[in-house]
Chain A
Amino acid sequence: MKRLMTFKSILWTIVGLAMASGITRMLFGLGAITNQSDATPWGIWKGINVVPGIALAAGGFVVTAIIYVMRRHEFSRYSKFAVLLAFLGYISAATSLVVELGLPWLVWHPVIYWQPHSALFEVSWCVILYLTVLFLEFVPVPLDETHWFSGVRRFLIKYKLILVVLGVMISTLHQSSLGTMFLLTPEKLHALWYSSMLPIMFFVSAVAIGPLMVILAVLVVSSLYGRELEREKLGMLGLISMGVLVVYGLIRIIDIAATGKLLLVFDGSWQANIFLLELVLILVLPIIFLAVKKLRYSTAGLWIATISGVLGMVLNRANIAGIMLVQTGNLYIPTIYEIFISVGIISAAILGFLFCVERFKLWETKWEDSRQEPNAQPEFDRSSEVYLGAPRLAGRTIYSMIFVVSLAFGFAVISSDRLYSHGVDDVIAQEARGNGILYIDGNRDNFGVAFGHAEHIKRQQGADSCSVCHHMNLPQDKSSQCSACHRQMYTTTDVFRHDWHASPTGANIACNMCHTPGEEKQKSSAKKCVDCHLDLYPENAVNTFESYLTVSYVDAMHGQCVTCHAERALSDTTKVAQARCPACHTGSLPHYLKEDMRDKLRQPGLSNVIIPKSDVNLELKQGE
């Protein structure tokens, strides 16, 4: 029982972390905690939870069909297991969808807005219908515990066959239409995985691996709760699985050969290696371990065959729905929060599974809860220490405590920077290079603006004109560079640095040197910067600023240049062109960079530029 408790504690910890990440995602949007992007619109939730989750739930319809349609009643002991697995698999996939969709509260829209040409439309209908069928198939099990709705229960058990056949029909469509979805991406999905047979492959592989997943669940339960295995029956189930796997393998290999992709398989690229790994996991290992009679009926053999098959299945679906799908060159690495949510949903499903195993009669007889033994020690309620009888849900004190602490920890580790900056890249602005002609290129993407500094000085009537542009200096400095204060390329910078001024290792100024003693320590009660730093503004400065925050480097540059240029353009109709972007952003690179940049495809530096307020352009139009 100790092992079970450790296992459950770990699961609860993960669920807590996932819950924290999930709530943050709902409040702040997908960009706040995921690395999904315009280049990779689908992340690991699709690739690990939704698509493989539904594939692994296939055991529900395969095993029930074997029992009720093909009348192999020797397996009927596993029918409840299979249905429960499918039910939880679908619920976990639906939960992942809720996290993954941009507007999850509108998830029911396919019901009223029809678009029958879309594979995803079919998928959503199948999810809704099959969840209903699974619910009706499973609900007699919990109803067995109580005397409620016994008429409904009897009715559902009597017409089980109809539900089973409906389940098979819907699942056939659902499993295959998941494959259909990826038929639409011939130019994105890697050639080794793309095939016009995808719908059939998805269906056949689901039929093959579904029963293996049921066997794996039985193995896990028996090892956690110390139950004896019926290896004979499990082996038989595995044998059926193996038969379908052979068919699946033939389809895949013939498809690869027929479309002339055999050479691709052995070209040694990482994609090809993953393809081979996938084949070994999903085909070779399970077939070997299920074909050999001695291995098939041994516990170890079943463990290896099922784990390998399930892993192979997950890898296959993850490859198609993610890893091999978008090849834009942008690397997608999921954030730790995405992984929390992904693993957390799986953990919650396992916890739900264990709960059902403990509470309901899944295995003919019910599991005894060790903590509910008649002579067990009474469990005290921590806060009041009043004994109120043994709790119905064992271990709720410990598990809820683990959950609460890990939930709080989850919220604590989510970096608030990421939430509030909304993913703006942190780029330090570099100083402009050059002398007479300054090359302004703050983010060093070698695509800046050549600014005629000397020329501007000349045009602004000589050396006294610095104050036209230079509006603030660093202490004890003359004509500080722009990047000295506008230190961030795209975000604001704190130029005052309160902590540094107060710190004994910094300026070491006592609080009341700046803040008026006896008043609240606020900005309004503090001295102005110029009270101490007399040389802060250049003489005759045109602009003076009284803010502790500077605007970003880009905004500063544009604010300084575009304002002046636009004014000139408006006042002098012969100089309209100088207010346009290409007047400065000429696009030609400095001579010393030209050689190595020339032949590269240059994605536009201009996309990194905030287009100035468009009313400037409008006024220009009218001016013309």
Chain B
Amino acid sequence: MQEFIDFCRGPLFRLTFLVMIFGLIRILILDIWGAVEAYRNAGDKNLAWKSAFIKTIQWLFPVKHVVARRPVYSLISILFHIGLIVVPIFLLAHVQLWKTSVGIAWWTLPYDWANYLTLLTIACSVALLLGRALSKTSRTLSRKQDYLWPILLLLPFATGYICANVTVSPSMYQLVMLTHMLSAEVIFIFLPFTKIAHCVVMPLSQFVMTLAWKFPARIDKKIAATLKKEGQSV
């Protein structure tokens, strides 16, 4: 069991964590590249830069959404995101691991705050999951992925809370720890290749949407091909 934990903590962690980092960089580069290419190929180069920028800011700091439509959902969602980002990065135990292995450390959350935030995140993710499952409209829009992700994100938080607070037998502790690490590693490895990649491409999405609403390059030929009227003048 200990060997298994060491493996998860060593090579497997390095692999999954780096897949996440490099994968996110890759998706960012690919998106920018694709957008720039599309912009270069577009005949009409007038874009609504300003409105796209404002929309991006509004999505990044969603104050307006809280006040306006669906306040409860928006609030839960924001809290969920805060917990998701803050707890893993600023938890003392995690920073300690970074310090011993790589030698860098940073500001950490106080112990109690971390506990409350963790519980809050767990509660929010359950609420979001229920909200999705109970509402008929969102049920029709949802894919399997959309149900799986909140559960997967919930796992390391729950196990992490147990490890930090509940006194269990050593063998149980090892088991919980293993689940904690394995679930986190599964998240790492799928993160850059699924919808969770929005954590880095989010600021771009509004520009990409604005671009995509313009007709893409050589679309005239594509329309002609689809209509089986190649070579004819439009």
Measuring CB to CB, which residues of chain A are less than 8 angstroms from any residue of chain B? 374-375, 378, 381-384, 386-392, 396-397, 400-401, 403-405, 407-409, 411-413, 416, 499, 502-504, 508-512, 517, 520
B19 touches A408 (CB 8 A): yes
CB distance from B42 to the nearest CB of A (A): 8
- Complex CA gap A387/B35 in Å reads 10
**B contact residues around A512 at 8 Å (CB):** 167
Given A386-B212, A388-B208; A412-B30 close (CB under 8 Å) = no
Q: Is the CB of B26 within 8 A of A401?
A: yes
Q: List 11 A-B contacts (CB under 8 A).
A: A386-B211, A388-B208, A389-B216, A397-B30, A400-B30, A408-B15, A408-B23, A411-B15, A412-B15, A499-B2, A511-B167
* Given known A-B contacts A411-B14, A511-B173, A520 and B30 have beta carbons under 8 A apart: no
- Rounded to whole angstroms, the CA-CA distance of A416 and B100 in the bound complex is 13
Docked Cα-Cα span, A392 to B218, in Å, equals 13
**Within 8 Å CB of A384, what residues of B?**
31, 201, 205, 208
Residue from B31, B37, B170, B216 in contact with A392 in the complex, judged by beta carbons closer than 8 Å: B37
Determine if B37 and A391 form an interchain contact, defined as CB atoms under 8 angstroms apart: yes
Q: Would you call B11 and A413 a contact (CB within 8 A)?
A: yes
Query: Whole-angstrom distance between the alpha carbons of A416 and B10 in the complex?
Result: 9
Whether B62 sits at the interface, judged by CB under 8 Å, is no
Q: Is B55 part of the binding interface, using a Cβ–Cβ cutoff of 8 Å?
A: no
Contacts of A499 in B (CB 8 A): 2
| Nearest opposing residue in chain A for B38, CB measure | A388
Provided the pairs A404-B22, A404-B23, A510-B170 are in contact, do residues A389 and B38 lie with their beta carbons within 8 angstroms? yes
The reply to whether B27 and A382 contact each other, CB–CB distance below 8 Å, is yes
B86 at the binding interface (Cβ < 8 Å): no
**CA–CA, A375 and B22, complex, Å:** 33
Contact digits for B82-126, partner A, Cβ 8 Å, 1 yes 0 no: 000000000010000000000000000001000000000000000
CB distance from A360 to the nearest CB of B (A): 19
Most buried by B among A392, A404, A502: A404
B170–A502 touching, CB < 8 Å: yes
Task: Pick the most buried of A383, A404, A411: most chain B CB atoms within 10 A of its CB.
Answer: A383
Point out the residues of chain A lying under 8 angstroms from B25, CB to CB.
Answer: 404
The answer to whether A400 and B167 touch across the interface, beta carbons within 8 angstroms, is: no
With both chains docked as a complex, state the minimum distance between the C-beta of B38 and any C-beta of chain A, in angstroms: 4
**Are B10 and A388 in touch, CB under 8 angstroms?**
no
Q: Is the CB of A508 within 8 A of B221?
A: no
Does B128 belong to the interface (CB within 8 Å)? no
Closest to B205 in A: A384
Q: Please report which residues of chain B, range 150-185, place their CB below 8 angstroms from some CB of chain A when the two chains form the complex.
A: 167, 169-171, 173-174
How many whole Å from B70's CB to the nearest CB in chain A? 23
B209 contacts the other chain (CB 8 A): yes
B34 beta carbon closer than 8 Å to chain A:
yes
Asked if B127 is an interface residue, CB under 8 A from chain A, the answer is: no
Q: Chain B's nearest CB lies how many Å from the CB of A102?
A: 24
**Complex-state Cα separation, A374 to B225, whole angstroms:** 8
B18 within 8 A of A: yes
B132 CB–A CB distance under 8 Å: no
B218 touches A383 (CB 8 A): no
| 4 interchain residue pairs of minimum CB distance | A412-B15, A408-B18, A388-B38, A389-B216
Q: Given A400-B26, A408-B18, are A383 and B31 also a contact pair (CB < 8 Å)? A: yes
Q: Are A388 and B198 in contact (CB under 8 A)?
A: no
How large, as a class, is the contact surface on chain B?
35 or more
A403 to B30, CA, bound (A): 13
Partner of B92, one of A392, A401, A504, A520: A520
Given contacts A381-B208, A404-B25, A504-B170, list 5 more A-B pairs with CB under 8 A: A383-B195, A383-B197, A388-B34, A511-B173, A520-B111
Q: Compute how far the CA of A517 lies from the CA of B29 in the bound complex, rounded to whole angstroms.
A: 48
Is the beta-carbon distance between A388 and B18 smaller than 8 angstroms? Answer: no
Q: What is the chain A residue whose CB lies nearest that of B197?
A: A383
With contacts A407-B18, A499-B2, A520-B111 taken as known, whether A388 is within 8 angstroms of B167 at the C-beta atoms is no
User: Which residues 1-47 of B have a CB within 8 angstroms of A?
Assistant: 1-2, 10-12, 14-16, 18-19, 21-23, 25-27, 29-31, 33-35, 37-38, 41
> How long is the Cα–Cα vector from A147 to B33 in the complex, in angstroms?
23
Question: CA of A384 to CA of B222 in the docked complex: distance in angstroms?
Answer: 21
Q: Out of B18, B92, B197, which one reaches A411, CB within 8 Å?
A: B18
Contacts of B29 in A (CB 8 A): 400
CB closest residue in chain A, given B169: A510
Query: Do A382 and B170 form a contact, CB below 8 Å, given A404-B22, A408-B15, A408-B22?
Result: no
Cβ of B130 under 8 Å from chain A: no
Q: Of A387, A404, A503, which contacts B170 at CB under 8 A?
A: A503
> In the complex, are the beta carbons of B167 and A510 less than 8 A apart?
yes
Q: Are B212 and A387 in contact, with the CB atoms below 8 A?
A: yes
Given contacts A389-B217, A401-B26, A412-B15, contact A504 B169 (CB under 8 A): yes
| Cβ of B193 under 8 Å from chain A | yes
Report the minimal beta-carbon distance from A502 to chain B, rounded to whole angstroms: 5
Q: Name the contact of A389 in the complex, choosing from B21, B37, B92 (C-beta under 8 A).
A: B37
**In the assembled complex, how far is the CB of residue A90 from the closest CB belonging to chain B, in whole angstroms?**
28
Contact (A412, B18) CB under 8 Å given A382-B27, A388-B211: yes
* CB-based contact A412/B173 at 8 Å: no
Whose C-beta in chain A lies nearest to the C-beta of B196? A383
Q: For residue A512, which residue of chain B has the nearest CB?
A: B167
Measured in the bound complex, the distance between the Cα atoms of B224 and A263 in whole Å is: 78
How many angstroms between the C-alpha atoms of A512 and B165 in the bound complex? 12
Task: Tell me the smallest distance from the CB of B226 to a CB of chain A, in Å.
Answer: 9
Beta-carbon contact of B15 and A409 below 8 Å? yes
Residue in A closest to B201 when the chains form the complex, CB atoms: A383
Establish whether residues A388 and B2, one from each chain, have CB atoms under 8 Å apart when the complex forms. Answer: no
B198 partner, pick from A383, A400, A508, A510, beta carbons under 8 A = A383
Decide: A388 near B212, CB < 8 A? Known: A383-B197, A413-B11, A503-B170.
Answer: yes
Neighbouring B residues of A413 by C-beta, 8 Å: 11
Which of B18, B31, B38, B205 counts the most A-chain CB atoms under 10 A from its CB? Answer: B18
Interface centre among A378, A392, A412, A511 (most CB of B within 10 A): A412
Cα distance, A390 to B221, chains bound together (Å): 13
Complex: chain B residue closest to A420, CB-CB: B101
Contact (Cβ within 8 A) B41 A389: yes
- With A375-B225, A388-B216, A504-B169 known as contacts, the answer to whether A412 contacts B12 (CB < 8 A) is yes
CB closest chain-A residue, reference B39:
A388
Q: How far is the CA of A401 from the CA of B35 in the complex (A)?
A: 19
- A510–B171 CA distance with the chains assembled, in angstroms: 9
B20 shortest CB reach to chain A, Å:
8
Q: A408–B12 Cα gap in the complex (Å)?
A: 10
- Smallest CB-CB separation from A501: which chain B residue? B170
Contact B19 A404 (CB under 8 A): yes
B135-157 residues at the A interface, CB under 8 angstroms: none
- Residues of chain A contacted by B10 (CB below 8 angstroms): 416
